[in-house]
A = this chain, B = another copy of it.
Amino acid sequence: MDTLAQRLYEEFVKIPLIDPHSHINPHAPVAKSLNDILGYHYYTELAHSAGLPKDKIETNQGFDQIEQLATHLGHLRNTVQYSWLVELASTFFGFEAEEVTPENARRLFDAAESTLAKSDWVETVFEKTRLEGIFLTNDFDDPLEGFDTKRYIPCLRTDELVFKLGEESVRNRFEASSGESASTIASLKKGIGALFERFTARGARACAISLPPDFAPMRPAESEASRALDKVIQGDASPEEARTLSNAVFFMLADYCEEFTLPFDLMIGVIRGVYADGVFQGQDLFDRRTSLHQYHRLFNEKKAVTFPISVLTSNQNQELVAFSWIFPNVTTNGHWWYSNIPAYIETDLRARIEAVPINKQIGYYSDAYKLEFVLPKFNMYRRCLSRVLANDYVLARGWSEERAIGLARQILRGNVETMFPGR
């Protein structure tokens, strides 16, 4: 990086973080061993893609698993995901090799082992990461007990409610957690209200869902919704009926987001299980033929709800920019999954900064499963941000560095607080 971008980057690193989306388990927030690091789906799916059979990855444990993965990590040395690993190993485990190889994997494994055993490890990670809080992804029936909800901020994840009510186990969990049956539209609605009540009482600051590319929300008539629910429960719903029920529940959620003033995170574009024999969490892909125009009814109807939106493809970023520029309730949210690489982050970020009001942009979230990944992933983003602000603002527009840093502070931290205020 050139000197100016480097200087900005060093300032950005000092800004304390609240990470607005992750999959952290608050009861086990950090890695227990290197397996929790190298077992992150990015490494298992890329190693599998590079040629390592799935069973070599998934039936091994402990150092045996690491040893297998290490045979294929060389094929990933070019990837940005690999660079997270190297930075993580250096920052947290004092492991300074340029690459992780079959020869040095044992050394890394041991270094991780001894570091992760430290009793204050969670605190150390929070401090080194300058992390002050992190949003979770909680199942609707999560009891939300036994952790500090100021630090680990609950977020109601709703994919199962919208897409999985056909599974009896989901309906049973709904009943157990909400006190209401999932068998009628009225009781569903009441039960979902109870979930919102419980989540917001425990400090939840968002409702979230991931959606397939062909989802086009349209509120069904209640009678239609009832018929669809009956069919889904009987297990003989047509695709249209299943979609009708999804729509009905989706709009219930939107209604409650309005009532409880919760932002509704939409993560748009994923198709689950495209590669059914892939490794765990390495099976989902997409069809890029999708449009935010599919959501125009929702955005028009639910004007009082903020929709922080993540798009799966960089192709869709211009729609996100344009819809956020026009609709007051549509906002940009991070760089998701297949778009979470510098080539797409920088392209997408540049357009967002140039055309979306700055108070409507959430710069980044880690999406991490273990706290150790928050730092290298945010650093990747901060490097992108420093290049964009250095070139397009300080150099091209003549902004002072202070002004650029102020802008970075707002999208890295300030907006997380104003856009997800909690109740």
Q: Which residues of A contact B (CB under 8 A)?
A: 1, 45-46, 48-51, 72, 75-81, 83, 98, 271, 274-278, 282-293, 296, 299-300, 303, 313-316, 318-319, 321-328, 338-339, 341-344, 347, 350-351, 353-360, 383, 392-393, 395-397, 403, 407
With known contacts A291-B288, A354-B79, A278–B326 Cβ distance under 8 A: yes
A347 to B315, CA, bound (A): 13
B residues in contact with A76, CB < 8 Å: 357-358
Q: Which chain B residue has the least Cβ–Cβ distance from A387?
A: B396
Q: How far is the CB of A392 from chain B (nearest CB, A)?
A: 7
B residues in contact with A285, CB < 8 Å: 292-293, 296, 322-323, 326
Question: Which of B51, B81, B315, B351 contacts A359 (CB under 8 A)?
Answer: B51
A235 to B357, CA, bound (A): 41
Question: Which of B315, B326, B356 contacts A275 (CB under 8 A)?
Answer: B326
Is B283 within 8 A of A287, CB to CB?
Answer: no
Question: Which of B49, B72, B360 contacts A326 (CB under 8 A)?
Answer: B49
Interface pairs A-B: 5 shortest CB-CB: A50-B357, A287-B293, A343-B351, A343-B350, A75-B357
Is B300 within 8 A of A276, CB to CB?
Answer: yes
Interface of A is mostly: helix
Q: How far is the CB of A261 from chain B (nearest CB, A)?
A: 15
Is A383 within 8 A of B396, CB to CB?
Answer: yes
A319 to B287, CA, bound (A): 8
A69 to B120, CA, bound (A): 51
B residues in contact with A291, CB < 8 Å: 287-289
Is B318 within 8 A of A313, CB to CB?
Answer: yes
B residues in contact with A343, CB < 8 Å: 347, 350-351, 354-355
Is A396 within 8 A of B275, CB to CB?
Answer: no
Q: How far is the CB of A413 from chain B (nearest CB, A)?
A: 16
Is B289 within 8 A of A289, CB to CB?
Answer: yes
Question: Which of B45, B80, B356 contacts A79 (CB under 8 A)?
Answer: B356
Question: Which of B48, B293, B344, B407 contacts A318 (CB under 8 A)?
Answer: B344
With known contacts A321-B338, A338-B322, A344-B318, A328–B49 Cβ distance under 8 A: yes
A81 to B326, CA, bound (A): 14
A291 to B303, CA, bound (A): 31
Q: What would 13 more interface pairs be, CB under 8 Å, given A77-B358, A78-B393, A343-B350?
A: A1-B396, A49-B326, A72-B357, A75-B358, A275-B296, A278-B327, A285-B323, A288-B291, A318-B339, A321-B338, A338-B355, A341-B351, A344-B351
The winner among A276, A355, A392 for most chain B CB atoms within 10 A is A355
B residues in contact with A395, CB < 8 Å: 1
What are 7 A-B contacts with C-beta separation under 8 Å? A48-B328, A50-B360, A79-B357, A275-B299, A278-B327, A315-B318, A343-B347
A282 to B351, CA, bound (A): 19
Q: How far is the CB of A355 from chain B (nearest CB, A)?
A: 5
A271 to B292, CA, bound (A): 12
With known contacts A78-B407, A343-B354, A357-B79, A303–B327 Cβ distance under 8 A: no
B residues in contact with A347, CB < 8 Å: 343, 347
Q: How far is the CB of A287 from chain B (nearest CB, A)?
A: 4
Is A354 within 8 A of B327, CB to CB?
Answer: no
Is A318 within 8 A of B314, CB to CB?
Answer: yes
B residues in contact with A325, CB < 8 Å: 45-46, 49, 338
Q: How far is the CB of A232 from chain B (nearest CB, A)?
A: 25
Q: Which chain B residue has the least Cβ–Cβ distance from A357?
A: B50
B residues in contact with A392, CB < 8 Å: 342
Q: Which chain B residue has the least Cβ–Cβ distance from A392?
A: B342
Q: How far is the CB of A87 from chain B (nearest CB, A)?
A: 10
Q: How far is the CB of A249 from chain B (nearest CB, A)?
A: 25
Is B271 within 8 A of A293, CB to CB?
Answer: yes
Question: Which of B46, B289, B327, B354 contacts A49 (CB under 8 A)?
Answer: B327
Is B288 within 8 A of A83, CB to CB?
Answer: no
B residues in contact with A315, CB < 8 Å: 288, 315, 318
A357 to B282, CA, bound (A): 15
